[in-house]
């Protein structure tokens, strides 16, 4: 069995040190505020990033280009290793397509090596949860083909449920109308969204108030999780207390404690804003 490495990108919102502990290679997306200075994800602290957003700064993002992926992949290929790349949803970013382009070029240069690329159709710690499961599968002794199929079988069972605190950020990205954003601000309406089978953000329902939005997400978990006592991840847009509140709601209903609470990174946070809370778990369907 040939040795292989799992690779991803920072759309997965897993801390860099954790990815290194998992022995996962990665490349970072970038963002910039209106001053035009480009920042690789991870360069700026999350507290500073969200502080600037709360102060009115608008952040825009850029995908990883194929050359960056080519350089990353080639490091492993030169060592005689195969590659399994698990990419940020193509429904939200061009990053995964860049990884696939790099892989196509390198397959010609390294015909004896396997390079498998998978669009996870997932984002934030949902993508991160898929990476986690892939790492565990590899550690169990699975070969690259077995791990790749394991991931493919999982993709449409990986549920994403999330809410945001301020609709203005989704309005900028065209996810909600200006009227809905205005009404949400005045009436305290909070959307509950998920990611569909094509990797796009879908507005599922509207509820009144922050606590009710968290209760709705917790209820979705308890109703649809394959195993309410199983593994789930929570990501947050600089609102750790709310992430812990969501966890406590799940535990109070008989669910397990959260396996990982992490930040919504600068890339996804640019579009969802401060106060985002997202829950990821394996369900009977997305």
DSSP string across 69-91: HHHHHHHHHHTT-EEEEEE--TT
Fold matches, 4-29+64-155 and 158-282: no
User: What is 4-29+64-155's CATH number?
Assistant: 3.40.50.10440
Give percent above pLDDT 90 in the chain: 80
pLDDT at 61 (0 to 100): 93
Cα–Cα distance measured from residue 84 to residue 121, given in angstroms and rounded to the nearest whole number: 15
pLDDT at 8 over 60: yes
Domain segments of the chain as ranges: 4-29+64-155, 158-282
pLDDT score for 208: 85
Cβ partners under 8 Å of residue 60, min gap 6? 31, 32, 33, 270
Q: Pick one of 3.10.20.30, 3.30.70.980, 1.10.3720.10, 3.30.1180.10 as the CATH number of 158-282.
A: 3.30.1180.10
pLDDT above 80 for 260? yes
**Which residue has better confidence, 198 or 261?**
261
What percentage of the chain carries pLDDT values higher than 70?
92
Residue range 156-198, pLDDT digits in tens: 999 999 999 877 776 565 555 544 444 445 456 788 888 888 8
Task: Decide: 280 and 261 in contact? Cβ < 8 Å.
Answer: no
């Amino acid at each position: 069995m040939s040795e292989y490495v799992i690779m991803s990108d920072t759309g997965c919102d897993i801390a860099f040190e954790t990815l290194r502990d998992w022995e996962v290679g990665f490349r970072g997306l970038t963002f910039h505020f209106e001053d035009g200075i480009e920042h690789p994800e991870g360069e700026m602290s999350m507290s500073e990033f969200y502080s600037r957003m709360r102060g009115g700064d608008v952040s825009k993002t850029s995908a990883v280009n194929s050359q960056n992926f080519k350089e990353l992949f080639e490091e492993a290929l030169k060592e005689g290793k195969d590659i399994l790349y698990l990419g940020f949803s193509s429904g939200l970013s061009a990053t995964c397509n860049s990884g696939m382009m790099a892989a196509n070029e390198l397959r010609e240069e390294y015909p004896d090596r396997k390079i498998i690329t998978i669009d996870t159709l997932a984002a934030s710690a949902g993508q991160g949860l898929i990476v986690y499961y892939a790492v565990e599968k590899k550690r169990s002794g699975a070969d690259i083909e077995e791990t790749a199929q394991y991931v493919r079988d999982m993709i449409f069972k990986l549920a994403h449920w999330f809410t945001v605190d301020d609709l203005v950020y989704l309005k900028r990205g065209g996810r909600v109308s200006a009227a809905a954003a205005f009404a949400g601000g005045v009436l305290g309406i909070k959307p509950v969204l998920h990611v569909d089978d094509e990797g796009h953000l879908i507005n599922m329902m509207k509820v009144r108030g922050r606590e009710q939005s968290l209760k709705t997400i917790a209820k979705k978990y308890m109703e649809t999780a394959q195993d309410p006592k199983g593994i789930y991840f929570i990501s947050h847009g600089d609102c750790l207390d709310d992430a812990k509140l969501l966890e406590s709601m799940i535990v109070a209903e008989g669910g397990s404690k959260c396996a990982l609470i992490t930040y919504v990174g600068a890339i996804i946070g640019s579009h969802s804003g401060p106060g985002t809370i997202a829950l990821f778990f394996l369900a009977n369907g997305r």
